[in-house]
Amino acid sequence: MEINKFERYWLIAVGLTLGAFIAATIVAVTVFGIRLPSPVERVNPQRLDQTIFASPGVRKIADNRYEAVIVAKSWAFNAGPEAGSPPVLRFPRRSQVTFYVTSQDVMHGFQIEGHTINLELVPGQVARATVNFNRPGEYNIICNHYCGAGHHVMYGTIIVE
């Protein structure tokens, strides 16, 4: 069986492209140490009342350093009673905030617009990310993972003063 010369060129091009992708992956893992993110810890989503997620909210841990504990469930982010629903979180300018977020029911997303935070919330896993808020303004928190009929109302706001 003979292969047409144009088909042969395409097969060679595909083989070279595939080889380049495999080589880039090997270099990224071995040389640069790039790894997939792993959960900070695991929790039982049915027993969040026995974890730090029993009382979600914002805690000041040092000058301009905060921790925000947030639970995503059924089309809402719960950041504590003081934040309201949808939550409004307030931080001073030049704050460093570490977010601890989990899902209680289904997969959700947690994205802060204007920043590089984009977490996938899996029930039973704790996601953690640290953000520096250097510019004043309003930043939306959105669920960017379709989670059901009320997905469009799952949002919050961060106000940096």
Q: Domain residues of the chain, as ranges?
A: 1-35, 41-160
Per CATH, the architecture of 41-160 is what? Sandwich (2.60)
pTM exceeds cut of 0.85 = no
CA dist 32 and 87 (Å) reads 38
Q: What is the pLDDT of residue 37?
A: 67
> Does the pLDDT of residue 40 top 90, yes or no?
no
Mean pLDDT (the chain, rounded): 91
Residue recorded with tokens 């042969």? 8
CA dist 73 and 71 (Å) reads 6
CA dist 111 and 98 (Å) reads 14
> Does the pLDDT of residue 38 top 90, yes or no?
no
CA dist 87 and 136 (Å) reads 18
Q: Which of 160, 37, 153 is nearest to 101 (CA)?
A: 37
